[in-house]
Structure 1
Amino acid sequence: MPLSTDDKTNDTAANLVKGLKGAFGTPPGYRPAHAKGTLVTGTFTPTAVAGTLSKAKHFNDSSTPITVRFSNSTGIPVIPDTDANASPRGLGIRFHLGGRSHTDIITHSTPFFPVRTGEDFLAFLGALGGGTIQEFLGTHPETLAFVQAPKPTADSFVGLSYFGVNAFKFVSADGKGTFVRYRVVPTVDTTTLIAEELATKGPEFLFEELKESLGAGPVEMKLLAQIAEEGDVTNDATVHWPEDRKVEELGTLKLEALEEPDKNKADQKYIIYDPVPRVDGVESSDDPLIDMRASIYLISGRERRAAPP
């Protein structure tokens, strides 16, 4: 996973990592965003449709091992699950393709994203820290939409829907390109908690529920792709595609077990989820945020790995 070839992107990414850590007081060894999380192992089984859309290995093999990370928002590793700032939740998926090869998908429990570029994100952080956030929101309606968007908390991590805000290009075996956005949806009954219900929960209730559920057996979620049509925007994560766009099921994520505590802690420090697909059959779109996010994750990941045990 290399840094961007664009020095400006890397400089902005480094400043964003520094700004996020400063905003949350993130201790060494943790992510500057979505610091509190846990890893789950499992298996991905694709549908036949997935193989027609993309020639990627994980969409054509009978099954692929996966490592999934559920997380809370912010760079605070002890943020209570009940804290409003812990939403949106995060879901990262790593598909292990053999050897050291892998490809990842990164999603959040809201289809909204606050900014289009890394530079805008840096300005957003500056406005938050400098007390000028209202002025910033007044000139950035896409950020205001993110702030105002519902960020529901369900009674479980696996009861939420997760959205990939960036567009990617699937390439089929015969060379056909299809732009998509990922979604992950639950197969279990979902209960959205209102404020009064959330107030009765403990600070670790989502992580405890996940452990209890997996202790009773595997839990499944579905990986979907929203299909773009001609003219749909592919270079702006703040622009939504119409809800009447076709949605195809790509496969089943079978979540089987939490990693053991010591391995979980060590692997979370080491693993760097990558927004760039880096697999034949899936390509980045022209969204500038993809390259920026990749640099942010790599820079913060290197710092995390270098931190004392």
Structure 2
Amino acid sequence: MQLRAIIAVIFAGSLTMTHPVLAEDKPVTEQVVDTLTTLSGGPHAGYRANHAKGIMVEGSFTPSAQAASISQAVHFQKPTPVLVRFSDATGVPNIPDANGNAFPKGIAIRFQLPDGTATDIVSISVNGFPAATPEDFLGLLNAVRDSQASTAKPSPVEQFLGTHPAALKFVSTPKPAPESFATQPFFGVNAFQFSNAGGKKVYGRYQIVPVSGARYLTQQAADKAAPDYLMKEIVERVQTKGVQYKLLLQLAEQGDDVNNATVVWPDSRQLVELGTLTLNKAVADSQTAEKPIMFNPLQLTEGIAPSQDPILLARPAAYAVSFGRRLAK
């Protein structure tokens, strides 16, 4: 695979970058944010280090009849307001929506609970992740960074992919441009433990499936797409006819690895429908409204607990670094 094609599917928003020296004594999560910022040609004041370009909409979540049998979480008992942010990958605030660097797409869902608290889901448009640990993810990002000025054959990123099959699989997975965010499925790459009122516990991963079905642009159409076609279309669609997704849970079976985001469970695993997301309202001045919000996959409520997946446990720390820098600008 050519280096440019590799970079086009890994969180690399800019192909012309400076290479600041990273302090190795920083926490890995902070180094990840530093490298993402470098790869995007940043820092871009006031924006996230990754998934910088986004749009927020609002709606509600209605649980299914079987949701309560999976978890006692309050939003699985009765309808709950939601705030949803769709996003493009990279830290480039104006990246074209159909650009190869803008994948995977992201969705963040905030369930606004009756007691004033919230719980979040943060997912991407690819089933699986390129690294099992924050250290390996940093290694991948640094390899991409170091390959820009390298004349080595194989390049640093090619060397990395040659010894990390999960990363190679991730970057090789097709990532076509969707017709709309409303036709893009999303996947929770990290597992959580769910417990119901009777104390029964299961592990599962979220899937967020568009009711209208998955549909994608042809390459020819993607090449001609307007830079903000996804961001503008989803607002228009939400306001005119609404958008719905099914929130599903893929249940782990005995022996399934629940602590490794690179391991995709077989399609034969049971899917339970947790409920329906209905989005029907745009957020006024989304860019301003989203700046002070940090979606956090470990902002959980009773009935949902984290697995010991190292990527999951590291995500809030990385988000917090990016969040702090965003608010400081």
TM-score, length basis structure 1? 0.93
Of 140, 143, 168, which residue of structure 2 is paired with 1:127?
Answer: 143
Partner Cα distance (2:75, 2:305) in 1: 14
How far off is 1:195 after superposition?
Answer: 1.1
Number of corresponding residues: 297
Aligned to 2:8: none
TM superposition outliers: structure 1 runs of 4+ over 6 Å: none
- Inter-partner Cα distance in structure 1 for 2:165 and 2:178: 27
Which ranges in structure 2 are unaligned for 5 or more consecutive residues? 1-23, 148-155
The within-5 A match list for 1:126-145 is 126-131=142-147, 132-145=156-169
Q: Verify the 8 A CA contact 2:249 2:272 in the aligned structure 1.
A: yes
Aligned to 1:254: 278
Could you tell me which residue of structure 2 aligns to residue 147 of structure 1? Answer: 171
Q: Deviations over 1:252-282 (max 9, x none)?
A: 1010111012xx2222111101011421100
Q: Hey, what's the Cα distance between the residues in 1 that align with 2:208 and 2:25?
A: 29
- Aligned sequence identity (%): 41
1:216 paired to 2:240: yes
Query: Alpha-carbon deviations, 1:2-44, whole Å to 9, x = none?
Result: xxxxxx9981111111111111023021111110001111100
Distance 2:292 2:144 in 1: 30
Q: Which range is displaced more, 120-129 or 212-221? A: 212-221
Aligned to 2:95, which of 69, 72, 79?
Answer: 79
Selected match of 1:279 from 286, 301, 316: 301
Aligned to 1:31: 48
**Cα deviation, residue 99, structure 1:** 4.8
User: Which residue matches 1:231?
Assistant: 255
Question: For the Cα contact (< 8 Å) 2:72–2:197, is it kept in 1?
Answer: yes
Q: Is 1:193 aligned with 2:181?
A: no
Whole-Å Cα distance in 2 between the matches of residues 16 and 287 of structure 1?
A: 17
Tell me the residue number matched to 1:4: none
Q: Does 2:78 align with 1:54?
A: no
Q: Distance in 1 between matches of 2:230 and 2:35?
A: 28
2-structure distance, mates of 1:199, 1:144 = 25
Query: Contact 1:10 / 1:292 at 8 angstroms: preserved in 2?
Result: no
Alpha-carbon displacement from aligned partner over 1:29-60 (angstroms, at most 9, x marks no partner): 11111100011111000012111100011111
One-letter code aligned to 1:240: V
Separation in structure 1 between the aligned mates of residue 298 and residue 41 of structure 2, nearest angstrom? 28
1:290 is paired with a residue whose SS is: helix
Q: Residues of 1 paired with 2:209 and 2:304: CA distance?
A: 21
CA displacement 1:171-191 (0-9 Å, x = unmatched): 111111100000000111443
Q: CA RMSD in A?
A: 1.5
Aligned to 1:295, the other structure's residue is in SS state: helix
TM-score after normalising by structure 2: 0.87
Partners of 2:282 and 2:236 lie apart in 1 by 10
SS of aligned partner of 1:199:
helix
Instruction: Give unpaired runs (5+ residues) of structure 1.
Output: 1-7
Structure 1 counterpart of 2:290, from 268, 279, 289: 268
Report the equivalent of 1:297.
Answer: 319
